Copies of this chain bind each other. A is one copy, B any other.
């Protein structure tokens, strides 16, 4: 009986040092989440730590250039005025990279969450050798690094495909990649990736983090519609990766078990109803370059083209059926439509909402919101960069202890 492998839960032992690491993060996040500069005393009150401890922790964070003291805020009541604390804009930054079907992107996000640099290099990357694409990306990345006044804590790369937890790209069908070890193949001038290393993740996952970063709710399902359809699941401010790291593959959830065949080998997958090519086909438009399909569809829909409107309604319905299923299973309060679906949200959302409302069991008392994404194409790159600074925020001690 009872044979869970390993110890489960909070794994390791806890020494006093871990205690400080935890509290360091607690204080840093408290400052980060405050809307305005906040005093040590307020941090102490909010965290439950004593002011003495908070002072000591803050001192360390300031020395590590993660926090700054600001001018006292507008006075209120008697007493010594509080010294404000805020995140240091030049303390650390994260580098976010993205390889996609028709562009490469790089951006730098600082600790405060501000996007400090952002560059996109258009170009069709389908079927090109990974090495060539990665070299071009490395150049773009090196430029981004060169512009940063803050030290770069690490980099994260977004790829439209299945990525193993260790960073190996299992397959990125639309790029034509299979088994690419990005971590070994990418080296960026002016940036030593050894310490934090390069993280690689699915484009939908990182775009979801980008939305979180941009102020979306703390729990939501992000749907990334492109040639394929992926999803990133954010629960309670954290990315949910499933048991083995390949969560969110909603593009191959069945809409109709005996529907049209899909390139995955199954029948009636969502991609065959709401993928970019399926929508174009249903609308009677010719497939073109991957980047501009959404625009063409939006223009035609705006003009009232009936075939396009019908195609979008049908796609929305299929999307709604699948999303309702997902919500029934993981019970998220919000669905964010991203990628291709952002410019088409006006026409897709009604059908999606209607399906979700009738099919989600708990919809009667726990409403489910369907909203378009706030970020555009850059969502994944911003999310990737944001995930780096988020990692520093979650465990500042590791960053402070760097060689």
Q: Which of B7, B30, B355, B366 contacts A7 (CB 8 A)?
A: B30
- Please provide the chain A residues from 28 to 53 with a CB less than 8 Å away from any CB of chain B in the complex: 29-30, 32-33, 35, 46-49
- Are B6 and A33 interface neighbours, CB within 8 A? yes
Residue of B nearest to A87 (CB): B2
Interface 9-residue window, one of A146-154, A214-222, A300-308 = A214-222
Query: Taking the nearest CB of chain B, how far is it from the CB of A313, in angstroms?
Result: 13
Tell me, yes or no, whether A379 is within 8 Å of chain B by CB: no
**How distant is the Cα of A257 from the Cα of B22 in the complex, in angstroms?**
48
Interface string of A199-231 (1 = CB under 8 A from B): 000000000000011110011000000000001
- Please provide the chain A residues from 327 to 386 with a CB less than 8 Å away from any CB of chain B in the complex: 328-333, 355, 358-362, 365-366
**How distant is the Cα of A23 from the Cα of B25 in the complex, in angstroms?**
20
- Are A22 and B5 interface neighbours, CB within 8 A? no
- Please provide the chain A residues from 1 to 36 with a CB less than 8 Å away from any CB of chain B in the complex: 1-10, 12-14, 16, 18-19, 22-23, 25-26, 29-30, 32-33, 35
- Are B4 and A33 interface neighbours, CB within 8 A? yes
Residue of B nearest to A219 (CB): B243
Interface string of A160-171 (1 = CB under 8 A from B): 001000000010
- Are B13 and A26 interface neighbours, CB within 8 A? yes
Tell me, yes or no, whether A245 is within 8 Å of chain B by CB: yes
- Are B243 and A333 interface neighbours, CB within 8 A? yes
**How distant is the Cα of A44 from the Cα of B160 in the complex, in angstroms?**
44
Q: Which of B23, B249, B265 contacts A13 (CB 8 A)?
A: B23
When distances are taken between beta carbons in the complex, the residues of chain B under 8 Å from A114 are 1
- Are B219 and A331 interface neighbours, CB within 8 A? no
Q: Which of A2, A47, A324 has the most chain B CB atoms inside 10 A of its CB?
A: A2
A-B contact pairs, 6 of them (CB 8 A): A3-B215, A7-B46, A8-B33, A13-B49, A162-B361, A254-B325
- Are A328 and B13 interface neighbours, CB within 8 A? no
When distances are taken between beta carbons in the complex, the residues of chain B under 8 Å from A48 are 12-13
Q: Which of A162, A318, A331, A332 has the most chain B CB atoms inside 10 A of its CB?
A: A331
Query: Taking the nearest CB of chain B, how far is it from the CB of A224, in angstroms?
Result: 14
When distances are taken between beta carbons in the complex, the residues of chain B under 8 Å from A251 are 361
Interface 9-residue window, one of A118-126, A186-194, A234-242 = A234-242
When distances are taken between beta carbons in the complex, the residues of chain B under 8 Å from A4 are 33, 212, 218, 237
When distances are taken between beta carbons in the complex, the residues of chain B under 8 Å from A231 are 329
